[in-house]
Structure 1
Amino acid sequence: MTIAPAAHRHLSAAATARLLGAWHAGGPAYTALSDALRAAVLSGTIAPLTRLPSERELAPVLGVSRTTTAAAYRRLRDLGLASSRVGSGTVTLRPGFADAPVGGDVAVSDAAGTLGDPLAPNRGAGPGVPSGVVPPILLNQATAPAVPEVGPAFERALASLPEHLAHGGYAPYGLAPLREAVAAAYRERGVPTAPDQILVTTGAQNAISLVVRTVLKRTETAVVQSPTYFHALDTLREAGARMVGVPAGYDGLDVELLESTVRRTEARLVFLIPDHHNPTGTSLSPAERVAVREIAERTGVIVLADETLTDLALSGPPEANPPFDGDGSSPRLITVGSTSKAFWGGLRIGWIRAHPDVVARLVRTRQSTDIATAVMEQLVAADLITHRDKILPARRVWIRERRNQMVAALRAALPWDVPMPGGGQFVWAGLGGPVAHAFAAAAAAEGVMVNAGPALTPDGSSRDRVRLTFPHTPDVLEEAIPLLVRAWDRIGPTADSGSAGSRRPFRAE
């Protein structure tokens, strides 16, 4: 018998209902509810070791009977995603917990870390997956295979490692070769940059968190694009920030609305993704970039720009958009980047470009967390960045082919609005009606994880959109599309009544 572990957090009935959204998609209510809970747990929307509200508390909030919530919780336990005991309630589990020894700390991880096979990160039974459980296809995570040059870069880094072993290994600002390589990349894009303007971090998410903790106090306002990067929203919530969204879509950025929002809310921080925006794939125009820089100067707001996807232009020349930083002189502009999308997600190297005084403040903040970034990975990143001109063209070709494959298949198979993104790694598909939560739950039941649109917004909007990632191997995409069709069929009349889209011919752009 499985002993329920201690919960690390508790969800109220109201919070659970908010996270699940419009979960009832036809069929037995208990099945739809358990599918919605399963999707939320597997996607990380509801973290492992979260105590769910009691069956009695949840039922009236969702407008169902206690019999329905009890049956849904029982099915969640049967799936290995929850455990219950008298006095402790129902606690969510990471998959495979029942097969693990009881006791000790259970790390909170996302779907990839829980279910991913290192050799096939988007599909396959990996460590921690119970026998008989079919692992999902992770279209909620952009994890392309490593570029071929990663392996040789590690070999060269290992050969150069002895010269670094005589030192302590702590470099709070980052290793000099990597800081110079990143600075040189900025200079080649037309942004004058010295190594003392670069701070190396453990990935872009670490960089974003570091900036937020340094410049933003609890209850201060951050303005974000809506939708935007899910984990940036997570970081801002954890920092206690008040978030206000401005629309991000295919009509461009409304810079007048951005400025009025900054002034009205007295915002301290603006978070933007200027190139190949996650999830829409759009980029700020040259005029919009100038306008944002001018807003920062006029209002004093700090603008944090995530350039993780900048290298992944898939339509038109890679240098079509001017650098967000302009001439790089403004202390109000901070940019972050990483190696994860261009080279490999397993290489946890990121960086911050900012005024040297800001970099010094950030270094003081980081002392309470990771102190410094691993030396070996920094040497590998410096090698890859130095050779990026030879690596990135093939990377773009591979990702472009996957984009074309997914867009063509979705347009042929489903009555959705499927835009062709100009860059990045995401399709922001329109479902025609507010059924995103229901579809995400149905897709999870079919074995495919997708992101419901509201999870990528600060206010729960975009209920008619889902985000799907396309940098997966061709066989994974071929397997996923029929399952998405089956998921769409599962939500039945709900989907039919809300889908005004029609199938469109494929256009390679």
Structure 2
Amino acid sequence: MTLRALRSASLVRHLGAWRLPGGGPGWRQLADRLRLLVLDGRLPLGATLPGERELAQALEVGRNMVAAAYAALREDGFLVSRPGAGVRVTLPEGAAGRGGDPLLGSNSDGLIDMTAAVLPAGAEVHAAYARALARLPEALPGHGYEPIGTSALRQVLAEHYSRRGLPTTPDQILVTHGAQNAFALMLRWRTRPGDRVVVDHPTYPHALDAVIDAHCRPVGVPLTGEGWAVAELVDAIRRSEARLAYLVLDHHNPFGVFMPPAERERLIAATRRSGCLLAFDETLVDLWLDARPDVGTPQPDGPHVVRLGSTSKTFWGGLRVGWIRADARIIAAVAQARASLDLGVAVLEQLATAELIADGEAALDDRRAMLRARRDRLLALVAEHLPDWRVRRPSAGLSLWAELPSPASSRLAAAAERHGLRLAAGPRFGVDGTLERFIRLPFTLPETRQEEAVRVLVAAWAEAKGAPKRVPSTEKRLGEPIF
């Protein structure tokens, strides 16, 4: 098999603003940035990097700097060199559980994980599985293959959408292995290699991964301080001739904003004849924290609007159940295209999901209350101990989007990893190495764990911006002031 060779221009774009004045030796900054790109999954394992001279010329630095960075990465196990084969990307032995994607870190490597914005399962998940197991004998006489989903779950989901103000029938629902799988199915059915896919910018990293894996080109439309500029979004869809747009309008991940109904109506109306399907990722739609939405109010909709849902953020990622809600003709076409990929989702998980959605509002109220408290605690900790960071207060969702005083997000993530904290750097949420001034901070950890994380953040930030390290005492008990 021919290994992918990364061109220097592409690697320079991924590196972004990797070097900061006063941030330490250039070779170390370069090595840290490359290491993070490997752990982010943005440098594919097995890929061949440009030679030292070529990369030095592209970065406009001395060859010795690149040579020293490559040597450090070889020593740490992130690069391997063989005569005639160049320098290839790899992972240290035994690091597979931690490598590849910082948004899905290991649960057992001892690091504080602030990459995955998810919650553990509540008691309601076990109870739903117990009820589902009792119902399982009803399904056993059948063959068990459900390529569009069980009728029980599709009926519950249709009723759920109808209560939200989107009249829906079961034939408008296709059950998938999570929202990520739902989007991948849409890409598989709708696009061809080379097609452009419009995304809001920043956006959900795994959506970008899916676009790239489909050999399509993401077209990022920057969010403003208040959210989306609908006119720019529509213009980008038209100019790029995009066949698909992926947008997170409900409690945007990671920006935390919400597109009002009037703007959605403008967007849907303006793109109705564009030939572009609008895929709305609604995995966070039920995680409002401050203002309860007007349930039952008619929602803007159209035949070219596809909605992606999931249980991962609301109940538990281990369910691995998602869905597509769309025009019945789209559902039938996607189901047909899916046949060569898989034959549906496990029946027991679908039955458990139906139980949760039909009877899970009380559990969601409890989770919202817990998230409100954790959000407010993390906001207070960041304001007290990192006062030069700018953080908006989200009214929904699972994370904060912090703006740093300088473009040092990747350096911060690399330094934090050395101090025992895993972060997802801002560029992970963007296109071509941008967003170095931002970092995502999920508030899903318990308050005491948040205190530990902020303690590490302070030390890592001091290192990332080139200031003397300040390492607070680790002997204080949890729950006490961190300084």
Taking structure 1 as the reference length, the TM-score comes to 0.84
* Residue 174 (structure 1) aligns with: 149
Q: In 2, Cα distance between the equivalents of 1:15 and 1:494?
A: 31
271-280 vs 474-483, which moves further: 474-483
Do the aligned residues in 2 keep the contact of 1:174 with 1:199 (CA within 8 Å)?
yes
Q: In 1, Cα distance between the equivalents of 2:303 and 2:261?
A: 20
* Residue 349 (structure 1) aligns with: 321
Q: In 2, Cα distance between the equivalents of 1:162 and 1:50?
A: 49
Do the aligned residues in 1 keep the contact of 2:118 with 2:398 (CA within 8 Å)?
no
**1:280-302 residue CA offsets vs partner (Å, 9 max, x unmatched):** 11000121111112113243432
Q: In 2, Cα distance between the equivalents of 1:385 and 1:96?
A: 42
Q: In 2, Cα distance between the equivalents of 1:466 and 1:367?
A: 39
* Residue 502 (structure 1) aligns with: none
Counterparts in 2 of 1:79 and 1:387: CA distance versus 1, 3 Å:
farther
Counterparts in 2 of 1:320 and 1:36: CA distance versus 1, 3 Å:
farther
* Residue 44 (structure 1) aligns with: 41
What does 1:311-322 align with in structure 2 at a 5 Å threshold?
311-319=286-294
* Residue 341 (structure 2) aligns with: 369
Whether 2:193 is the aligned partner of 1:218: answer yes
Unpaired runs of 5+ residues, structure 2, are: 469-483
Whether 2:377 is the aligned partner of 1:405: answer yes
Whether 2:420 is the aligned partner of 1:447: answer yes
Do the aligned residues in 1 keep the contact of 2:24 with 2:466 (CA within 8 Å)?
no
Do the aligned residues in 2 keep the contact of 1:313 with 1:422 (CA within 8 Å)?
yes
Counterparts in 2 of 1:86 and 1:459: CA distance versus 1, 3 Å:
closer
* Residue 256 (structure 1) aligns with: 231
Q: In 2, Cα distance between the equivalents of 1:156 and 1:46?
A: 44
* Residue 305 (structure 1) aligns with: 280
Q: In 2, Cα distance between the equivalents of 1:396 and 1:107?
A: 30
Q: In 1, Cα distance between the equivalents of 2:14 and 2:295?
A: 39
Of 340, 362, 380, the residue aligned with 2:352 is 380
CA RMSD, 1 decimal: 2.7
Q: In 1, Cα distance between the equivalents of 2:233 and 2:365?
A: 35
Q: In 2, Cα distance between the equivalents of 1:165 and 1:268?
A: 41
Counterparts in 2 of 1:87 and 1:474: CA distance versus 1, 3 Å:
farther
1:225 counterpart SS class: strand
Instruction: Return the offset for 1:233.
Output: 1.7
**1:172-226 residue CA offsets vs partner (Å, 9 max, x unmatched):** 0001111111111101112111111000000100001111221223333322211
Do the aligned residues in 2 keep the contact of 1:229 with 1:279 (CA within 8 Å)?
yes
**1:415-443 residue CA offsets vs partner (Å, 9 max, x unmatched):** 11111111111211111333333333333
Q: In 2, Cα distance between the equivalents of 1:440 and 1:50?
A: 23
2:272 counterpart SS class: helix
Instruction: Return the offset for 1:139.
Output: 1.7
Q: In 2, Cα distance between the equivalents of 1:150 and 1:77?
A: 45
Amino acid at match of 1:387: D
* Residue 18 (structure 2) aligns with: 23
Counterparts in 2 of 1:454 and 1:429: CA distance versus 1, 3 Å:
same
Whether 2:408 is the aligned partner of 1:435: answer yes
Q: In 2, Cα distance between the equivalents of 1:141 and 1:288?
A: 30
Do the aligned residues in 2 keep the contact of 1:7 with 1:51 (CA within 8 Å)?
no
Unpaired runs of 5+ residues, structure 1, are: 1-5, 101-105, 118-123, 126-134, 496-509
Q: In 2, Cα distance between the equivalents of 1:64 and 1:261?
A: 36
* Residue 35 (structure 1) aligns with: 32
Instruction: Return the offset for 1:140.
Output: 2.2
Instruction: Return the offset for 1:11.
Output: 2.6
Of 63, 68, 83, the residue aligned with 2:65 is 68
Of 3, 10, 14, the residue aligned with 2:9 is 14
Counterparts in 2 of 1:12 and 1:467: CA distance versus 1, 3 Å:
same
Counterparts in 2 of 1:90 and 1:446: CA distance versus 1, 3 Å:
farther
Q: In 2, Cα distance between the equivalents of 1:243 and 1:111?
A: 21
What does 1:452-491 align with in structure 2 at a 5 Å threshold?
452-491=425-464
Instruction: Return the offset for 1:254.
Output: 1.6
* Residue 333 (structure 1) aligns with: 305
Of 208, 212, 228, the residue aligned with 1:233 is 208
**1:304-327 residue CA offsets vs partner (Å, 9 max, x unmatched):** 10000101111211448967x53x
Counterparts in 2 of 1:404 and 1:165: CA distance versus 1, 3 Å:
same
The aligned length equals 465
Of 80, 92, 111, the residue aligned with 2:102 is 111
Amino acid at match of 1:183: A
Whether 2:222 is the aligned partner of 1:243: answer no
Counterparts in 2 of 1:218 and 1:85: CA distance versus 1, 3 Å:
closer
Of 219, 242, 247, the residue aligned with 1:267 is 242
Counterparts in 2 of 1:159 and 1:362: CA distance versus 1, 3 Å:
same
Do the aligned residues in 1 keep the contact of 2:79 with 2:88 (CA within 8 Å)?
yes
Q: In 1, Cα distance between the equivalents of 2:259 and 2:53?
A: 49
Q: In 1, Cα distance between the equivalents of 2:98 and 2:119?
A: 24
Instruction: Return the offset for 1:464.
Output: 1.8
Q: In 1, Cα distance between the equivalents of 2:445 and 2:274?
A: 42
Counterparts in 2 of 1:151 and 1:416: CA distance versus 1, 3 Å:
same
Counterparts in 2 of 1:417 and 1:314: CA distance versus 1, 3 Å:
same
**1:430-471 residue CA offsets vs partner (Å, 9 max, x unmatched):** 113333333333333333333333332235443322222221
Q: In 2, Cα distance between the equivalents of 1:183 and 1:108?
A: 39
Do the aligned residues in 1 keep the contact of 2:176 with 2:344 (CA within 8 Å)?
yes
Taking structure 2 as the reference length, the TM-score comes to 0.88
Q: Percent identity over the alignment?
A: 42
Counterparts in 2 of 1:421 and 1:249: CA distance versus 1, 3 Å:
farther
Amino acid at match of 1:440: A
Q: In 1, Cα distance between the equivalents of 2:123 and 2:6?
A: 44
Do the aligned residues in 2 keep the contact of 1:47 with 1:92 (CA within 8 Å)?
yes
Counterparts in 2 of 1:315 and 1:249: CA distance versus 1, 3 Å:
farther
Instruction: Return the offset for 1:385.
Output: 0.9
Do the aligned residues in 1 keep the contact of 2:178 with 2:323 (CA within 8 Å)?
yes
Counterparts in 2 of 1:442 and 1:17: CA distance versus 1, 3 Å:
farther
Counterparts in 2 of 1:440 and 1:483: CA distance versus 1, 3 Å:
same
Amino acid at match of 2:238: R
168-177 vs 334-343, which moves further: 168-177
Q: In 2, Cα distance between the equivalents of 1:468 and 1:222?
A: 27
Counterparts in 2 of 1:455 and 1:116: CA distance versus 1, 3 Å:
closer
Do the aligned residues in 1 keep the contact of 2:103 with 2:115 (CA within 8 Å)?
no
Q: In 2, Cα distance between the equivalents of 1:491 and 1:339?
A: 36
